[in-house]
């Protein structure tokens, strides 16, 4: 677990959600995401594969409540 106690994948998703919203996909780097999440640079690749797949996970999480409604 990272220092926030949420676990690395959840921390990455949270940081990515915030940063993608603030800077857009192109303006957000993996380094920015891992720094904000308190995670190792390789964590995105390990847990999600690519930045694009992490972005997809962020969108999926954001739209999940709509799909369940």
Per the domain annotation, does 21 fall within a domain?
yes
CATH number of the domain at 22, please.
Answer: 1.10.10.60
Euclidean distance between CA atoms 3 and 5, whole angstroms: 5
pLDDT at residue 15 is higher than 90: yes
Cα distances from 23 to residues 8, 16, 27, 31, in angstroms, run 22, 10, 5, 13
Per the domain annotation, does 1 fall within a domain?
no
Per the domain annotation, does 2 fall within a domain?
no
- CA atoms within 13 Å, Cβ hemisphere of 11: 20
Report how many domains make up the chain: 1
Per the domain annotation, does 27 fall within a domain?
yes
Share the mean pLDDT of the chain.
Answer: 92
Domain of residue 44, residue span: 8-68
pLDDT at residue 19 is higher than 80: yes
pLDDT for the residue 6: 67
**How large a percentage of the chain has pLDDT more than 70?**
91
pLDDT for the residue 67: 78
Burial class for 41, CB neighbours closer than 10 Å (0-12, 13-18, 19+) = exposed
Per the domain annotation, does 55 fall within a domain?
yes
Per the domain annotation, does 60 fall within a domain?
yes
């Amino acid at each position: 677990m990272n220092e926030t106690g949420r676990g690395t994948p959840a921390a990455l998703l949270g940081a990515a959600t915030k940063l993608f919203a603030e800077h857009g996909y192109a303006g957000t780097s993996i380094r920015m995401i891992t720094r904000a999440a308190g995670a190792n640079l390789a964590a995105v690749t390990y847990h999600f594969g690519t930045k694009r797949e992490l972005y997809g996970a962020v969108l999926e999480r954001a739209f999940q409540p709509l799909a369940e409604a």
